[in-house]
């Protein structure tokens, strides 16, 4: 549809105002006298208006209506409390454990027992990327132990899924 509306003629404009009760009683009487047919039109208009007005339904499930809006507008729930052990830390821990196990393995049965004791410690320290996490290889009595400092303890209720 074209949004531009045709301009009303003076008569059409007066009729609209008349139907909407915008004319003074004197003007309305003059208008009715000049155009007797408009009185019937006004009655029809009132009938239609009444018919339109009497069929307003009631909104159903009002509480649910509100609930859905509130769910939509409520601020996003604050991010779930950060896990004490985020994935990267767990991954690092796993990697460190594997390296430690590998170190122990090589210390006992591996072909390169003569490898420098600083080697694993350097690798672990570099992989950690966290200056607070340090690793060192301790060899004593033919046993090599990779000692890692700086990792957080696992919470007692932590469950690995």
Partner 1 sequence: MNNAPHNTSNGEPGIPAESANDLALVASAQSGDTVAFDALITKYRQRCFAMIYHMTRNEEDAWDLAQDGFVKAWKSLANFRGQSGFYTWLYRIMTNVTLDWLRKKHIRGGQEFDDSIGLRKIEPAATTAPKPTMEPAARMADAEIRQRIDAAIEKLSPEHRAVIVLREIEGLEYQEIADALGCSIGTVMSRLFYARKKLQTLLQDIYEQL
Residue 12 Cβ, how far from partner 1 at the closest point, in Å? 5
Query: For partner 1, which residue of 37, 55, 132, 149 counts as binding (CB under 8 A)?
Result: 55
Query: For partner 1, which residue of 27, 29, 39, 44 counts as binding (CB under 8 A)?
Result: 44
Q: CA angle 76-77-79, nearest 5°?
A: 110
Dist. CA 146–CA 151, nearest whole Å: 13
Dist. CA 10–CA 8, nearest whole Å: 6
Q: Which is nearer to partner 1, 30 or 47 (CB)?
A: 47
Q: Which is nearer to partner 1, 10 or 82 (CB)?
A: 10
CA dihedral 66, 67, 68, 73 (to 10 degrees): 90
Query: Site mask, partner 1, residues 2-41, x = CB under 8 A?
Result: xx-xxxx---xx-xxx-xxxx------------------x
Query: For partner 1, which residue of 29, 34, 39, 69 counts as binding (CB under 8 A)?
Result: 69
């Amino acid at each position: 549809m074209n949004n531009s509306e045709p301009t009303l003629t003076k008569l059409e404009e007066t009729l609209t105002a008349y139907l909407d009760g915008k004319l003074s009683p004197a003007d309305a009487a003059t208008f009715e006298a000049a155009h007797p047919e408009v009185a019937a039109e006004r009655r029809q208009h009132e009938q239609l208006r009444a018919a339109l007005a009497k069929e307003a339904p009631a909104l159903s499930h009002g509480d649910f209506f509100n609930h859905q809006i509130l769910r939509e507008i409520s601020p996003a729930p604050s991010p779930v409390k950060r896990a004490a052990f985020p994935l990267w830390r767990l991954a690092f821990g796993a990697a460190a454990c594997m390296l430690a196990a590998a170190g122990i393995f090589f210390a006992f049965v591996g072909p390169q027992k003569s490898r420098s004791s600083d080697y694993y410690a350097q690798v672990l320290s570099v992989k950690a990327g966290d200056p607070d996490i340090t690793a060192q290889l301790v060899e004593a009595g033919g046993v090599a132990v990779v000692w890692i400092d700086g990792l957080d303890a696992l919470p007692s209720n932590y469950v690995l899924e």
